[in-house]
Amino acid sequence: MNIFHSIILGLVEGVTEFLPVSSTGHLILTGRLLGLPQSEFLKTFEIAIQLGAILAVVVMYGRLLFRDFEVSKRVAAAFIPTAILGFILYKVVKKVFLNSHEVVLWSLFLGGIFLIVFECWHKESKEGEEKISEMSYAKAVIIGVVQSLAMVPGVSRSAATIVGGLALGLKRKTIVEFSFLLAVPTMLAAVLLDLVKTAGSFDRIQFLHLGVGLVTSFVVAMASIKFLLKFIQNNNFIGFGVYRIVVAALFWLMAR
């Protein structure tokens, strides 16, 4: 792995983290395209690079997350089930799911179909919650449980939380912004857990590569967040569902 690879993976992370397409799945497939072996460092890189996206959310939404106690409590409620399940299933995710390109492709494909079907069926309620602080704690916990599905690479954390929130009657902008905020404790916990277990075996060059990827993902994630907020004003996610299916199909064809 070199600096060029770090920049490319940082770009992929920044673009895809908050879109309903699975950043982890895209990082795994990009690594395959670049010919990178599935080493322990690459697996950690694919997790730890999310710190850049976390920082982007903190910069843009820090005031809301840390100063609005009602919002913070709902983010905490949603994070609890994800934290519990993530801690229990950490070894399975790291040793099984992150090693399987087939899992990624099937998750992208089936998730794309589900996204299209859901958007065709879903009708946004005019009476849905417009503020995160108005969300019930029960809904926050349910969204946290649904988010846990994204431990399977290819599912997409943002897609899971957004679809879960829409199904529960939240306004699209409300659940998208809640998904941004929920990413902070969720991804930070995942990154710290992995670094505690693996960082001791990495050298200075590997930390340099990680740093380059983090900075790249931070800059690109800022633009990605702004794009998504503007996009949802007049669009649904059917296009992303089609994109997921096309990407999975292309990789299956390339594997033949």
> CB burial class (10 A; 0-12, 13-18, 19+) of residue 196?
exposed
* Mean local confidence (pLDDT), 52-78: 90
What pLDDT is stored for residue 177 in this prediction?
Answer: 92
For the chain, count helices (H), then strands (E): 12, 0
Token pair 């200075």 in the structure block, residue: 204
Number of domains in the chain: 1
The per-residue pLDDT for range 71-130, each reduced to its tens digit, is 999 999 999 988 888 778 767 766 666 666 788 888 899 999 999 999 998 887 776 667
Residue 90: the pLDDT is 67
Q: What is the DSSP string of 88-139?
A: HTHHHHHHTGGG-HHHHHHHHHHHHHHHHHHHHH----TTS--SGGGS-HHH
Burial readout 123-148 (b: 16 or more C-beta within 10 A, e: otherwise)? eeeeebbeebeebeeebbbbbbbbbb
For residue 61, what are the CA distances in angstroms to 16, 49, 54, 99? 19, 19, 10, 34
- Greater pLDDT, 201 or 90: 201
| Whether pLDDT at 45 is above 90 | no
How high is the mean pLDDT of the chain?
87
The parent domain of residue 143 ranges over: 3-254
Please name the residue that has the structure tokens 């299956």.
252
Res 95: pLDDT? 64
Residues in CB range of 135: below 8 A, 6 or more apart: 74, 129, 170, 174, 178
What's the pLDDT at 48?
84
Mean pLDDT of 31-37: 86
